[in-house]
Amino acid sequence: MNVNGGAWQAMLERRPLNVGALWGNEGAGLVSGRDVFAACREMGCVALAANCRHPLTAKGVLRAAKKLGAAVVLELAKSENSYCYGTFDNLPHCAVKYSGEMGDGVVFAMHVDHYGIKNRGDLVKAVGHIPHLVSNGWTSFAVDASHLDDYDNLMATRDVAMSIPAYLGLEVEVGEIKGPGELTTVEEALYFIGGLNAWGIYPDLLAISNGSLHGTYDAGSGQHEGIDLNRTREIADAIRPYGVSIAQHGISGTPLDKVGEFHKFGIHKGNVATLFQNVLFGLRMDPETGNADTSTGAYVKEADRGISEGLWERMVAWADQEKMSRKSGDYKRANLPFGEAIQSEPERIQDRIVDETEEWATRLIRAMRSEGSAEKVLEIIGRRSDHNGAPERRPLHPRSEYGADRAPNRQKTQGDFDD
């Protein structure tokens, strides 16, 4: 990517206002999520969205993106912000720093993943908190009120989305991500997206429940990857008139050849979290899926990968003290208490973490067919006169068609399925 070329310079001038306010004199290609998702729609590819529970993950993903000329998304869920060393406060600044260290030339968005809304208290807090996140450099948001009944989800998502600048990326969700067996219906998706459209809210992406699961698939307890691509395509086809495509959550543990099919089913963003954590910790993984090996009843640490063995032993002792199973998904909560120690590991340890992260990101980007998507982002930005990439859409139906009496309100399985 020629950072001295006209297209790159035009992009720098037309970055989102919050990016210009923070880094107006720096050359980072931090753009709106809307531009990344639009590029993927036009190219028919999928943007790799990497959850960066530690900043070293961001470094490796950015290196892969620059090498392949791919636009990528660095993200963090609201829940992850509470237990990870990568946070809403530090991650954008780390990413811009890493971009500068590699001479810039990499195009990326910063995405707030799964901003959960479960009650009115969450809603009120969100309207006050989101402007802070915007001012800290986040350029895309996923509003997740899917825990609520369909009408309440629609209304809460509407209200939160109205506090997000229209030129930043927007993802919304109907149907909690909870594994095989409970799938979002076309009726639910149309009610939700149609209702948002009627209120003048124009998402880029819809996350659905289509059989994926957050975390590691534990074959010993009967868990297996089960993404239903046929239902995904039915929903993608139904919501296409609204300019919305699918965000696929829970890709860790999915065979790369199946990931390579996603672009055919209306998927244009693919979230990967646990796989990159497995790399960070140095856990034994399936080489085709990235799924952690728990066949022995515990995670297996490999000596020549990830953090040092001494640090892993400290992590296991901490998890034992916290009464965690040695194959528990709650090992993700070790990211915060051990984050500083990981950041202080010897250079050779950090280098092998970043190198393997880059290798996996490279494989995922190629499977998602998003090589060269950075140029498409620059082309899209170059079509407009300024920073404002708010979509040119219009309401297709009256709001009266999306009242509480029209909501599908299918009975939901109880439980908390946050990442």
pLDDT digits (tens, 9 = 90+) for 18-65: 999 999 999 999 999 999 999 999 999 999 999 999 999 999 999 999
Residue 405 falls inside a structural domain: no
143: left (phi over 0), alpha (psi -120 to 50) or beta: beta
Mean pLDDT (whole number) for 180-198: 92
Residue 399 falls inside a structural domain: no
The pTM for the full model equals 0.95
Mean pLDDT taken over the chain: 94
Residue 351 falls inside a structural domain: yes
Residue 231 falls inside a structural domain: yes
Q: How far is CA 401 from CA 156, 199, 276, in A?
A: 17, 11, 43
Residue 413 CA to residue 176 CA, distance in Å, equals: 9
pLDDT band of 175, cuts 50, 70, 90: confident
Mean pLDDT (whole number) for 378-391: 96
Provide the pLDDT for residue 182. Answer: 78
Segment 262-312, tens digit of pLDDT: 999 999 999 999 999 999 999 999 999 999 999 999 999 999 999 999 999
Provide the pLDDT for residue 179. Answer: 55
Mean pLDDT (whole number) for 153-175: 97
Residue 263 CA to residue 266 CA, distance in Å, equals: 6
pLDDT band of 213, cuts 50, 70, 90: low
Provide the pLDDT for residue 215. Answer: 57
Q: How many domains does the chain have?
A: 1
Residue 340 falls inside a structural domain: yes
Mean pLDDT (whole number) for 384-404: 96
Residue 321 falls inside a structural domain: yes
Given a cut of 50, whether residue 151 has pLDDT beyond it is yes
List the end-to-end C-alpha distance of the chain, in Å, as a whole number. 34
Provide the pLDDT for residue 218. Answer: 46
Q: How far is CA 315 from CA 157, 158, 345, 369, in A?
A: 38, 41, 14, 36
pLDDT band of 419, cuts 50, 70, 90: low
CATH code (residue 109) = 3.20.20.70
Residue 227 or 111, more confident? 111
**What φ, ψ does residue 207 adopt, rounded to 5°?**
-90, 135
Q: Which residue range forms the structural domain that includes residue 50?
A: 6-384
Provide the pLDDT for residue 409. Answer: 74
Residue 393 falls inside a structural domain: no
Residue 389 falls inside a structural domain: no
